[in-house]
Amino acid sequence: MEPANLCLENDAALSLNKARWVFPDAPMAQVEQIARRFDLPEIVARLLVVRGVAMEDVEGFLHPTLREHFPDPYLMAGMEALAGYAARAIADERKIAIFGDFDVDGATSSALLHRFLKHCGVEAPIYIPGRLTEGYGPNEQALLSLKDQGAEIVFLLDCGTTAFETVAAGKAMGLEIVILDHHEVEERLPEAAHVVNPKRRNDVSGLSMLAAVGVTFMACVAINKKLREAGFYEGREGGEAPLKEWLDLVALGTVCDMVPLTGVNRLLVRTGFEVMQRTGNPGLRALIKVSGINGAVEPYHAGFVLGPRINAGSRVHKSELGAQMLATDDIETAENIAWTLNDCNDKRKEIQAEMEAVAIAAVDGAGIEDTPLIFVEHKNFHQGLSGLVAGRLKEKYGLPVCVVSYAENAEGVLEGRGSGRSIPGVHIAQAFIDARHAGLIEKGGGHAMAGGFTVMSDKMAAFRDFLFDHIRGQMNDGGVHVETQIDALITVRGARPDFIKMIHDYVGPFGQDFPEPLFCLQNVRIHSADIVGEAHIRLQVSDWEGGSRMKAMAFRAVGTPLGEALLNARGQGMNLLGHLKVDNWGGYEKTEMHIKDAFLLVKGV
């Protein structure tokens, strides 16, 4: 007898991840209108409506072009003034240097600006601070080093918005500081020559979703326009800067920084991945090869294959490797760095696995009942990996997480450096910013879903209490709802490769704030379940009444309630929730599901 479908019929029923599955509101009249007007399958129209794409925006969404949909960079506060300033500096052959953050957004921003300036005849050295030795943001010693190398102007990329003292120190040295950033802004701005940040209080551009590499690209477009108007390119070998050719860097940094994949970001990423398929960037080509990517490079590869390798350099070796690889035109140099980053990533995985085991044991030992936040601290944790471990714990427990390691600072004083990862509805960076204003931490900031902080050891207890109260307050304000939105029900029989490719072609790329569709495989029978590697679970499933089977994977599920249920579900009925993928292994297209959640069905009803 077919099992009862409790999870979808009973609003009170919770999944194995303790979530309610709900269908988002999508007025049928609106869905049908979009489907008719644009000749779309109904499922595509529904996905657009659910993701907030209005009727008047559908055409631009389906067929975005740089010519028609790229916004005017001058809409950003301070951009036109910066463009004129930078164009004059280039024409006057002034000495320019680049200081970028050590993550993928910073590396791609730095490589992009370096390539643009080099095309204009300016050799701008790149300085990337050590993640472990210098930390996030500019520091006086780094600025002094750049000045000693002859720099007159320093661009701070993906950092600097709240570096008030350091920017003032740079100004006192005689440096002209330019900030291109996208992090949260406070009431005042640093005393820089120019600050362009779409989160400025007086910025009405509507471009606050941009990553730093997006802001940098906007700046390059604006500067290029000023140079063109000034006749800079007339008679110059190479002509204008080939800006479109560098959109592969913009796409990579945008996806890896997990900014909303909506609006102009969708345009930049979609166009950037078209460029990436035929990229002329030696470093990017080498990294794709070393990573073992076959076929088209997709946003998934950027976020989970390429990005981690670039980040691994700063986490376990040298922070500047990623930017150097993406900025060089020397094939041998690019390939050598790519292999080094690949080795760094292997080392990173080993260290991270050890840290995760220690952290999980600590959390399970303490328990998480009634806690709004998981806070793990350990004196032997690797500081470069705290954010990754925090992310894993967030996935496992479904709560905001902070992971802290300890080290002595330059003055020999013990301090904690931590990373936070959050859940929808809890703005973790705001908690860090408020703690800094309260005098509890030395540094703190970031984004809604991720941030970092530095705290002196003697203030750790007070800071921890502050965080618990702050986040509990956000939760009590109604910001957190344990609900999972289902996009559509589907059967194993109906989940064909051509259907999945159609969805991705019309609606992709997917990312932050524009999620990949979640499909519910209804009433499936579990035929087999086994462990693959150390933490993944592989299943073979079919529709309850039989028919063809589908492979399903639950990644990092071993040891979780979801994983235990899947391993013991042979012969039972389940509803599986996840993303549908096309597997091209062996040249034969097959569908598989990447499971995110499940519901065990009651049999015999």
What gap in Å lies between CA 396 and CA 389, rounded to an integer?
11
- Helix, strand, or coil (residue 417): strand
Range picked from 334-338, 471-475, 543-547 for highest mean pLDDT: 334-338
Let me know if 548 is exposed, middle or buried by CB neighbors in 10 A (0-12, 13-18, 19+): exposed
Cis peptide preceding 260, ω within 30 of 0: no
φ and ψ at residue 552, rounded to 5 degrees: -135, 140
Contact of 314 with 128, CB cutoff 8 Å: yes
Tokens of 108: 């791609």
Contact of 393 with 401, CB cutoff 8 Å: yes
- Helix, strand, or coil (residue 579): strand
pLDDT mean across residues, the chain: 93
pLDDT reported for residue 603: 53
**How many other C-beta atoms are found inside a 10 Å radius of the C-beta of residue 295?**
8
What tens digit of pLDDT does each residue of 176-197 get?
999 999 998 988 999 999 999 9
Chain centroid to CA 27: how far? 31
* DSSP string over 138-191: --HHHHHHHHHTT-SEEEEES--TT-HHHHHHHHHHTPEEEEE--S---SS--S
Task: Tell which wins on pLDDT, 482 or 389.
Answer: 389
What tens digit of pLDDT does each residue of 346-390 get?
999 999 999 999 999 999 999 888 899 999 999 889 988 999 999
pLDDT reported for residue 481: 54
Let me know if 172 is exposed, middle or buried by CB neighbors in 10 A (0-12, 13-18, 19+): exposed
Q: Does 7 score more than 60 pLDDT?
A: no
* pLDDT band with cut points at 50, 70 and 90 for residue 480: low
Tokens of 43: 């499922």
The continuous run of DSSP H or E covering 303 comes out as: none
What gap in Å lies between CA 276 and CA 348, rounded to an integer?
26
Q: Taking Cα atoms as reference points, which of 398, 400, 527, 545 lies closest to residue 467? A: 400
What tens digit of pLDDT does each residue of 575-584 get?
999 999 998 8
Domains and CATH numbers, the chain: 6-23+486-600 (2.40.50.460), 76-343 (3.90.1640.30), 367-480 (3.10.310.30)
In this prediction, residues 216-237 reach a mean pLDDT of 97
Per the DSSP assignment, residues forming a β-bridge with 591 are 582
pLDDT reported for residue 446: 83
- The Cα-based distances of 520 to 8, 27, 283, 503, 574 in angstroms read 10, 20, 40, 15, 10
pLDDT reported for residue 314: 95
HSE (side-chain half, CA atoms, 13 Å) at 357: 8
What tens digit of pLDDT does each residue of 29-75 get?
999 999 999 999 999 999 999 999 999 999 999 999 999 999 999 99
What gap in Å lies between CA 327 and CA 347, rounded to an integer?
24
pLDDT reported for residue 602: 62
Contact of 402 with 373, CB cutoff 8 Å: yes
Give residues with Cβ within 8 angstroms of 62, minimum separation 6. Answer: 38, 506
C-alpha dihedral (359, 361, 365, 369), degrees to nearest 10 = 60
What tens digit of pLDDT does each residue of 276-313 get?
999 999 999 999 999 999 889 999 999 999 999 999 99
What gap in Å lies between CA 16 and CA 359, rounded to an integer?
22
In this prediction, residues 387-400 reach a mean pLDDT of 91
